[in-house]
Amino acid sequence: MAAPIISPSILSADFAKLGEEVRAIDGAGADWIHIDVMDGHFVPNLTIGPAVVKALRPHSDKPFDVHLMISPVDNFLDAFAEAGADIITVHPEAGPHLHRTIQRIKALGKKAGVSLNPATPAKMLDYVLEEIDLVLVMSVNPGFGGQKFIASQLRKIEAIANQVAKKDLVVDIEVDGGIDPATAPQAIDAGATALVAGTAAFRGGSDQYAANIAALRGGA
C-alpha cells in the first residue's frame, strides 16, 4: 500500500505565528498543508479568509489543500485560487449547483475536491466523481478540531474507494477529523489515500512535528 499523503490542518497551529508554523510543519515532512476556512454560518466557527492564505503562500511550496466550509461558496472560489490554493474542496450543501462549482474550480486551474459531512451519503458523488480530483470524507462534524473520530465513516470511505477502483479513476480519498496514530490505519485500510490531522500533527511543539507525522504514517 502506498504511503498516505499527510495534510496537517493549521487549525491546530499557533495562530499568532502561522507563517512559522507552516514552515515548521512543511520541514517536518507534511505533504500538503490543510487550510480550514469557516464562515460562522455553514459551520459554527470562524477562521480565516483569502488574505491569510495569500500571506502564508511564501512560507511553503507544498500544495495548499483548502477546505471551504462556507456558503454560498461560489463567490469566493476566485479569491482562494488567486491567494494560492492548489486544491479547493467544497461541500455539496454549500451552493445550489455542485457541478457548476466544480467546473469553476477547474477553470481556475485548480484541483477540485468534494467534502461529505458524516450524514451526507456517498451517493452525492454519483454524477461528479469523474469530474473531481479528491473526495474529503469528514469523520467529525465540521467546525472544530479535537473531536472524536466517527467510525461509521469507514464504510463510506470503502464505498467510495470501490467506486474509484471500479471506474478506474485517479481520485484521492482524504479523511478529516479525529485522525491520530490509532485511527489512521483504520482509514487507510478502508481506502483513504490522504489523512488530515490537526491535533495529532501539531501536538507537543515544533520539535515533535516530524515524529507526529511519522506516527501518522505508521512509524514509516
Catalytic residue list: 36, 176
Which residue has cell 473531481?
A: 132
Q: With binding defined as CB under 5 A, does residue 67 bind Zn ion?
A: yes
Size of the site for Zn ion (CB under 5 A): 3
Q: With binding defined as CB under 6 A, does residue 84 bind ligand DX5?
A: no
Widest distance between CA atoms in the chain: 46
Do residues 164 and 129 lie in contact, with contact meaning Cβ atoms separated by under 8 Å? Answer: yes
Exactly one of 178, 188, 191, 194 binds ligand DX5 (CB under 6 A); that residue is 178
> Residue 39: which of 10, 65, 11, 71 has the closest Cα?
71
Show the binding pattern over residues 20-59: x = contacts ligand DX5 (CB under 6 A), - = does not.
Answer: --------------x-x-----------------------
> Residue 201: which of 185, 216, 188, 183 has the closest Cα?
216
Which entry of Zn ion, ligand DX5, none binds 12, CB below 5 to 8 A by partner kind?
ligand DX5
Span 101-130, contacts to ligand DX5 by CB under 6 A = none
Query: In whole angstroms, what is the distance from residue 214 CA to residue 21 CA?
Result: 17
User: 165: which 3 cell numbers?
Assistant: 477502483
Tell me which residues touch ligand DX5 (CB under 6 A): 9, 11-12, 34, 36, 67, 140, 142-143, 145-147, 176-179, 196-200
